[in-house]
Amino acid sequence: MSVPRLEKLRRPGHGEKLGAAWRTVWLVLYGPSSVLVKTRYRHLERMPATGPAIIVVNHVSHVDPVLVSKMVIDAARTPRFLAKDSIFQVPVVGAAMRGMGHIPVKRGSMEAMQSLAAAVDALAHGRLIVLHPEGTVTRDPDGWPMAGKTGAARLALLAPEVPVIPVAQWGVQESIDLYRRRVRLVPRPRHTLSIGVPIDLSGYRDKELTGAVLREVTEALMYRLRGDVAELRGLPGPRGELYRWPHGQQPSKGAA
């Protein structure tokens, strides 16, 4: 697989400005992540230079949100994640997350709807929202994107004019896998992120947000991500339904 050279679009005076919290996090995490993980991008030019966007990403490692953030920053944008509310309860980390504009999500509650309303408002102000639709690191035995939660689909349908852009990623999980307590930094981990063309959801415009519609759109997002990951890995994608993880079951030792 041929991977283009890393091209950073963020330059002084160009791109979306980083706030104080982001500048601090950038100084603390950007340098070390660049040294520890060799990151490469494909089609960075597909990231919208301005305006709102919903970025959906497959989830392969506990550290990949840092690498996704680095990619968005290198594309001259500022990422805002919809993230588990438990992260915001951690001292210092929670304050930093709020300062960076991330949005806490408490699943299975009316507060989740408030989180989506906050995300829609951010999009209305031209922000970029990043989601991992799976909600957790994939438990698929071979590392493929698994069945997703409906939050990304709901947000996409609540903001139908906003492009939904898939980002496929692969690599770092082979060296950093916290489920198996595996952290191997030598040789230097390699990670590639590939930005896809926007997902066409025009067929769902003006449809009522029923459970069936949300599940259908969620599957459309996840099948697209699975196809893009297959292309990135240079392998034929799996056939059949998306993997559904029985909550509480331990992942098999052969998982990627």
pTM reported for the whole predicted model: 0.90
What is residue 126's predicted lDDT score, i.e. its pLDDT? Answer: 96
What is residue 14's predicted lDDT score, i.e. its pLDDT? Answer: 63
Cross-strand partners of 171:
none
Query: In the chain, what are the domain boundaries?
Result: 20-233
Mean pLDDT confidence for 217-234: 98
Angle at 12 between CA 10 and CA 14, to 5 degrees: 60
> pLDDT band for position 196 (50/70/90)?
very high
- CB-CB contact of 42 with 3 (8 Å): yes
User: Is 211 exposed, middle or buried, given 0-12, 13-18 or 19+ CB atoms closer than 10 A?
Assistant: exposed
> pLDDT band for position 11 (50/70/90)?
low
What is residue 7's predicted lDDT score, i.e. its pLDDT? Answer: 57
Range in 14-18, 74-78, 144-148 with the lowest mean pLDDT? 14-18
Query: For 204-222, what is each residue's pLDDT tens digit?
Result: 998 999 999 999 999 999 9
Can you tell me which residue has the tokens 């906003």? 162
- CB-CB contact of 79 with 68 (8 Å): yes
Cα 211 from Cα 213, distance rounded (Å):
6
Cα–Cα nearest to 102, from 114, 77, 119, 120 = 119
Query: For 27-68, what is each residue's pLDDT tens digit?
Result: 888 888 989 999 999 999 999 999 999 999 999 999 999 999
Cα 186 from Cα 147, distance rounded (Å):
32
**Which stretches within the chain are classed as H helix?**
20-25, 31-36, 64-74, 85-88, 93-99, 110-124, 151-158, 211-233
Architecture of the domain spanning 20-233: 3-Layer(aba) Sandwich (3.40)
Query: For 121-177, what is each residue's pLDDT tens digit?
Result: 999 999 999 999 999 999 999 999 999 999 999 999 999 999 999 999 999 999 999
Mean pLDDT confidence for 180-195: 95
